[in-house]
Structure 1
């Protein structure tokens, strides 16, 4: 018998000072049985940091052609393709041909991955944005992960401040270059 996804209800008070985005977000997120809690938290944070009109999660891991998170315009065209983790070069190549903006968020050390994709053919590799969360931050959020989660997230100068269950967690968001 196949395992089913676990549904999470999120309430996020977002103050992304760097982008001028101040929103109260209420949404549901599914955690697939094959998804690690760290990946799930990275996907949650990426959604919050990229929040804008038209953002949405993919239909699920069963559809490999869709980005993990995307922003679509009113016609349904993908304007931002967002990947989580360390996607392979072929996926990044496909993404950069399909969308004008491609962003990768990861909770893992990208050192080996960057060496692996360095010689690969990736369309507009120098325009792909890659951000690395501090592992301590994602691990601390995982420890407090609950099916009903409410938190405040502020972002200032690349520094994240997350107030979760009366505890303030902080961490940086490090940008890493893929090309050159």
Structure 2
């Protein structure tokens, strides 16, 4: 018998002063049995970081993620079905990154493991001509601190200013400063 996903609920208040994006969102996040708290919490953070200014080109949505290997972790799809923004977590290989760039206008990778420098050094030179690609590193200590805030029902306040996300929940607060490895700020 297959294990079922665990459902988490998050009330998310976003105040992104860098991009002037503000809003309240009620999220239902299905956590795959093989997914860690750290990865799930980073999906919610990515939702806050990449929330579009408006939904004229579609809304940012969670996908089946780990359950469907060909899907992003989050994506924004316009009304014609074209992928506007593909958000991937972890350390995808160079072949996958090339494939998804062909399917999307913009691809963002959030790598959060302490092995990120080794992974990036191995593929960095192969992706120099990838204008659609942005690669960010979330420092491992920050992503692990974020994982400690995981609960089945959460209330998040996310303030983003000067490239730093300040995440506050009933359980505590974490400061996350993604570091750009490739792409534009």
Question: d(CA) in 2 for partners of 1:167 and 1:144?
Answer: 7
Secondary structure at the counterpart of residue 76 of structure 1 = coil
Task: Map 1:121-140; keep pairs closer than 5 Å.
Answer: 122=127, 124-140=129-145
The equivalent residue for 1:33 is 33
The equivalent residue for 2:120 is 114
Secondary structure at the counterpart of residue 180 of structure 2 = strand
Match of 1:72 among 74, 77, 88: 77
Using the TM superposition, give the Cα deviation of residue 74 of structure 1 relative to its aligned residue in structure 2, in angstroms. Answer: 1.4
Using the TM superposition, give the Cα deviation of residue 47 of structure 1 relative to its aligned residue in structure 2, in angstroms. Answer: 1.3
The equivalent residue for 1:7 is 7
Using the TM superposition, give the Cα deviation of residue 123 of structure 1 relative to its aligned residue in structure 2, in angstroms. Answer: 8.7
Moved more, 131-140 or 152-161: 131-140
**What is the number of residues matched between the two proteins?**
177
Moved more, 161-170 or 18-27: 161-170
* CA displacement 1:28-54 (0-9 Å, x = unmatched): 001101112211111111111111232
Contact 1:153 1:161 survives alignment (8 Å) = yes
For normalisation by structure 2, the TM-score amounts to 0.88
Moved more, 21-30 or 139-148: 139-148
Using the TM superposition, give the Cα deviation of residue 26 of structure 1 relative to its aligned residue in structure 2, in angstroms. Answer: 0.6
Question: d(CA) in 2 for partners of 1:168 and 1:144?
Answer: 8
Distance 1:63 1:171, change over 3 A: closer
Distance 1:140 1:73, change over 3 A: same
Secondary structure at the counterpart of residue 67 of structure 2 = coil
For normalisation by structure 1, the TM-score amounts to 0.90
Question: d(CA) in 2 for partners of 1:165 and 1:97?
Answer: 41
Which consecutive unaligned segments of at least 5 residues does structure 1 have? none
Moved more, 109-118 or 96-105: 109-118
